[in-house]
Amino acid sequence: MIQCVCGKVKAHSLQHCRKYTTAGDSGSTAGKIVAASLLTVGGGLGGTILYAKWDPKFRANVEKSVPYSDQLFEMALGPPPPPLVPLQKKPGKIEPLQISSLSEASKESKQPKAKAKKSDPAPMEAPPAVEEAPAPQTLEEASAEAAHIISALGEVPSVPAPGTSDESPPGHMAAGEECKDHHEPVLKERPVEEVTARLAQQDKAEQDALAALTAGLEESLGSTAKTTLQAIGAQEAALTAIAAHTNKLKDAMDSQTPPDEKSAQWKALNEALSERTRAMEEAEEALLKAKGELEKLREVINSAKQSKIDTARPQILAAEENLHSMIVDLDKVVTKVQTAQTEAKIVSQYSELVNEAKAQFQQELANITPEIQANWKGLSGKLSADDLNSLIAHAHRRIDQLNRELAEQRVREQLHIEVALEQQKLEDQKALERAVVSALEHSREDMRLEQEKKVQEVREVMEAEMRTQLRRQAAAHTDHLRDVLKVQEQELREEAQEILNSRVMEQETHYRRLTQEQLDTFTLDMNAAYARLKGIEEAIDSHVIAEEEARKAHQLWLSVEALNYTLKSAGADSPTEPLEGAVGVIKESCAENEFAQALATAIPEESLSRGIYSEASLRARFYDIRRLARRVALIDETRNSLYQYFLSYLQSILLFESEQVPPPAKLAPEDLDTFKLLAYATYSIERGDLELAAKFVNQLRGESQRVAQDWIKEARLTLETKQVISLLSAYANAVGLGTTQAP
Amino acid sequence: MSEKELGQKWDRCLADCAVKLGTGLGLGIVFSVVFFKRRTWPIVFGTGLGLGMAYSNCQNDLRSHYVLHSKVAKEE
């Protein structure tokens, strides 16, 4: 016990101590709490600022959500970083396409006109020199391009998506960018809308440029093709013309046709020549035009290349290919033309020689046979035998001459051949060089084009690969997004469901409560109304009852009044009407009123049947009784002779006493004297007190009593009835009073 | 009416008295005339008789209420 007490005391003291200590330390604890809270707040703020510095997106989010935070950030970190500038990957500077054979071709076209083969090597040297440079240049630039492309491809993973905005298709762009955004948080990114807008702009610009470019390209291509075709056609026409001319010339040289046809032939030859010249000129013009167009096309292609629109690359490549093919065709045709021309030259030379010879022959012939016409080939049967002989002789002579010449020529042939060979060698060399150069050029061009094509293909492949990768990334991203979205959707749905449920519950409970309240109020109202109704009904019932009661009372009263009235119907000496009716009415009217019934039954039968005398009559009768009672005052059982009668009569005459003597309060025995009693009674009756009078009269003895018997009876009846009636009336009054409702 | 009873009694009495008196007188007279040669004593006697009878009747009538009437109970 003591221990417990001690313990309790100890506990209390400890608690007290603790309390004191806590009270004592409360100040420092409060300070600690304040310091801790300040620290927390400061830490939170600092952490937010640091993270915003590191993650611009977070910064943007915070700036969006928390007002005035952007000012704080600006103060702390400086303005938000500018949106990401898309890295414009500049493709390698593509040198303008050198139309390799342009100068060559133009120069070559000038060659047949100039007919100066010596000048060929000179200009030919220039173009190769010129072309040597561009060729390696093209190679270099091609390699540079390739390197660029490869480097660009290599840069693709590191360079964020906007860098490749120009390369990759715009539609892929946004996804790629978002992809990049997610995977490249290092680089600051512009907001998506800006990027997409820029991209859209870029795309639009690209599209426009592309469209313009393609249009330009197509146009120029078309025109160039047209002109080239024209040129080719012209060249071919020239070729054919040359060929025709040459053939014609050959044919003309073949002196197998009769002379008359020769002229036609020669005419045709002239025509062919003119044709050829014309065709050559035309071909020349067309070639020039084609060259010009090709140059233009080259310019356009260069400009297209410079515009760095990748989508046009295949078109550019195709255009270049077309250009190249056109050039090639043109060159081929030109070479053909040239060969034809050389052939023609040879043939013409040959034809000249032949013509010379023919002319000579003709001259000789003319000398011999002056009358024969020039076109002796055409003649057949118009010559005479002599002419023929002479002709034959001439011909033989001529043949001999020719044989000699032939021999001579054979001797000279070598030299000529050597010379010609030399010439030819030179020419061949030149031509070879030219051809080599042109072939080289063409091959270079081909290679370049192939390279470009390959590059293009590689690029396309790479692009495709990149696209696939990006697509994969995008797919992965979309999958991830989908998953995340799904999860989020789930969460949100659950949340929403919860909220919905809670709201629905709330609404339900609210509704229930409202309905309950309504019900309650309604019930209350109903109850109240019902109660009121009930109250009203009860009131009405009670009212009805009260009215009934009142009616009954009224009736009772009325009947009592009727009874009273019947009392009044008593005549001077005749009794009233029998009260039976009235009492019967009373009895009927208050059948359930026991009191009234009792009272009604208490009414003496006599009054009912016979009626009662009124007081006045009784009063009057009393006097008679009095007189009589006075006269027979002495007569009783003992004294009842006639003498006594006389004596009592005498006494009544001789006895003088006041008629009315007020009765004492107490009746003494000596007051029981007849005369005194009668005096009292008289007094009482004079005062209207029938009852007292009756009481006094009742005290009479003897003959007086016998005389007053009836009167007493009547008086009793009357009194009884009157009492009952008064009771009844009082009762009726009381009932009526009770039932009447005070307003 | 009880009060009238006395009066009636007195009326009867008087009537009876008159009758008796008359009768007595008459009888007296008659007797006196008839039997007693016009003496007065039968008249007086008759009158007196009549009167007495009347008196007695009157008295009896008046005191009839007080007179006890007895009956002999029959032995059963």
Model pLDDT, residue A154:
42
B64: distance to nearest CA of chain A, Å? 9
Q: Do A628 and B3 touch (CB under 8 A)?
A: yes
For residue A459, which amino acid is it? R
Range scoring the smallest mean pLDDT among A238-247, A371-380, B31-40 = A371-380
Selected residue of A628, A644, A678, A704 to mutate for chain B interface (largest B Cβ count, 10 A): A628
- Summary mean pLDDT of chain A: 72
Q: Do B3 and A624 touch (CB under 8 A)?
A: yes
A641: distance to nearest CA of chain B, Å? 6
* Whether the predicted pLDDT of A166 surpasses 50: no
Q: How many CA atoms lie within 13 A of B24 on its CB side?
A: 20
Q: Do B2 and A636 touch (CB under 8 A)?
A: no
Q: Does residue A621 belong to the interface with chain B, where contact is any CB pair within 8 Å?
A: yes
Contacts of B64 in chain A (CB under 8 A): none
Contacts of A708 in chain B (CB under 8 A): 2-3
Q: Do B1 and A710 touch (CB under 8 A)?
A: yes
Tell me the mean pLDDT in the region A588-614: 76
Q: How many CA atoms lie within 13 A of A370 on its CB side?
A: 1
Model pLDDT, residue A33:
94
The larger pLDDT score, comparing residue A96 to residue A351, is at A351
Q: Does residue A624 belong to the interface with chain B, where contact is any CB pair within 8 Å?
A: yes
ipTM of the complex: 0.88
Q: Does residue B58 belong to the interface with chain A, where contact is any CB pair within 8 Å?
A: yes
Contacts of A635 in chain B (CB under 8 A): 62
Beta carbons of A242 and A315 less than 8 angstroms apart: no
Among A372, A393, A344, residue whose Cα is nearest residue A263: A372
Most confident of the ranges A123-127, A163-167, A492-496? A492-496
Q: Does residue B2 belong to the interface with chain A, where contact is any CB pair within 8 Å?
A: yes
Tell me the mean pLDDT in the region A380-394: 71
Percent over 90 (pLDDT), chain A: 2
Q: Which residues of A334-361 are buried (b: 16+ CB within 10 A; e: fewer)?
A: bbbbbebbbebbebbebbeebbeebeeb
* Whether the predicted pLDDT of A71 surpasses 80: yes
Band the pLDDT of A369: cuts 50, 70, 90. low
Q: Does residue B17 belong to the interface with chain A, where contact is any CB pair within 8 Å?
A: no
Chain A residue nearest residue B8, CA to CA? A707
pLDDT digits (tens, 9 = 90+) for A676-712: 888 888 888 888 888 888 888 888 887 788 778 888 8
Contacts of A707 in chain B (CB under 8 A): 2-3, 5-6
pLDDT digits (tens, 9 = 90+) for A184-198: 444 556 667 887 888
Among A612, A524, A522, A496, residue whose Cα is nearest residue A564: A612
Contacts of B66 in chain A (CB under 8 A): 636-637, 640
Among A732, A445, A419, A413, residue whose Cα is nearest residue A593: A732
For residue A45, which amino acid is it? L
Chain A residue nearest residue B13, CA to CA? A642
A710: distance to nearest CA of chain B, Å? 5
Q: Does residue A573 belong to the interface with chain B, where contact is any CB pair within 8 Å?
A: no
Chain pair A-B, CB pairs under 8 angstroms: 40
Band the pLDDT of B33: cuts 50, 70, 90. confident
Q: Does residue A645 belong to the interface with chain B, where contact is any CB pair within 8 Å?
A: yes
Q: Does residue B62 belong to the interface with chain A, where contact is any CB pair within 8 Å?
A: yes
Model pLDDT, residue A85:
52
Contacts of B55 in chain A (CB under 8 A): 642
Model pLDDT, residue A175:
40
Range scoring the smallest mean pLDDT among A161-165, A415-419, A538-542, B62-66 = A161-165
Percent over 70 (pLDDT), chain B: 96
* Whether the predicted pLDDT of A37 surpasses 90: yes
Q: Does residue A641 belong to the interface with chain B, where contact is any CB pair within 8 Å?
A: yes
Q: Do B2 and A708 touch (CB under 8 A)?
A: yes
Q: How far from the centroid of its chain's Cα atoms is residue A502's Cα? A: 25
For A707, the closest of B6, B58, B59 (CB atoms) is B6
Q: Do A707 and B63 touch (CB under 8 A)?
A: no
Chain B residue nearest residue A629, CA to CA? B3
Q: Model pTM?
A: 0.37
pLDDT digits (tens, 9 = 90+) for A83-129: 655 444 444 444 444 444 444 444 444 444 444 444 444 444 444 44
Contacts of A637 in chain B (CB under 8 A): 66
Backbone angles phi, psi at A319, to 5 degrees: -60, -45
Chain B residue nearest residue A624, CA to CA? B3
For B2, the closest of A640, A642, A709 (CB atoms) is A709
Burial-class residue A592 by CB neighbours within 10 Å (0-12, 13-18, 19+). Answer: exposed
Residues 6+ apart with CB under 8 A from A89: A152, A155, A159, A163, A164, A166, A167
Q: Do A642 and B62 touch (CB under 8 A)?
A: yes
* Whether the predicted pLDDT of A332 surpasses 90: no
The larger pLDDT score, comparing residue A53 to residue A224, is at A53
Selected residue of A706, A716, A717 to mutate for chain B interface (largest B Cβ count, 10 A): A706
Among A343, A333, A108, residue whose Cα is nearest residue A243: A343
Model pLDDT, residue A667:
78
Model pLDDT, residue A454:
83
Model pLDDT, residue A93:
41
CA distance A336 to A708: 196
Listed in sequence order, the DSSP H helices in A133-169 are 134-155
Tell me the mean pLDDT in the region A144-160: 44
How many angstroms separate the first and last alpha carbons of chain A? 80
Q: Do A642 and B58 touch (CB under 8 A)?
A: yes
Write out A600-621 in H/E/C secondary structure: HHHCCHHHHHCCCCCHHHHHHH
Q: Do A640 and B66 touch (CB under 8 A)?
A: yes
Q: Do A706 and B55 touch (CB under 8 A)?
A: no
Chain B residue nearest residue A640, CA to CA? B63
Q: Do B59 and A641 touch (CB under 8 A)?
A: yes
CA distance A606 to A457: 154
* Whether the predicted pLDDT of A215 surpasses 60: yes
